[in-house]
Amino acid sequence: MRGLGWQVVSGVATALAVPWRGVRFLARMPVRLGRLARMRAACEGVVPASTQFDGPVHTLGRPHVRLGEHCRLGRNVTLETSAEGRIVLGSNVWLNTGCVVVACSRMEVGDHTLIGEYVSIRDTNHGQAAGALIQEQGSVTESISIGRDVWIGRGAVVLPGVTIGDGAVVGANAVVTRDIPAGAIVAGVPARSLGQRGEAGGE
């Protein structure tokens, strides 16, 4: 049974001759605005009113984020920054369900990029010198740059120091350990080139 809030929205929409699609939009507005308010309160930086939320977004600490217009954040996306870390998303960027983005330096994504479910993007790694426990070593941080019109498939991992060029495609579950040229299609562990968009077997 729908609550009183839905009945009020439905009644107002009917009186104003709002189409059914508009009724659903109006009914979802309080939830979306609540998520927007919570994210703005939890973060430093810029979260535009045009940001879309498919579900709750988790923030660790008080992350510094800057989102462009019309970004879309899936359910249970996690955003974390520390030290001087910054997460910068261009306009019309989609982070799908379960993505984890961690920046101790800078993680930047260009406009119109799609990042699939459960992708992990971290600009920091543990020290790995011999003769000492890994958990007692310091971290190594290198910024990550992801270009415009990039598609990163479900479950991929992007490691510190990587630059992914405009228009590149990263296959599902790939581990990106080195730079990817613009327009390249890569897959595998570690990610290797399968060709370019527009070539036979490509786009």
List the one residue out of 132, 128, 91, 98 whose CA is nearest residue 113.
91
Q: Is 58 a catalytic residue?
A: no
Q: Which position among 58, 64, 70, 126 bears the catalytic label?
A: 126
Active site residues: 126
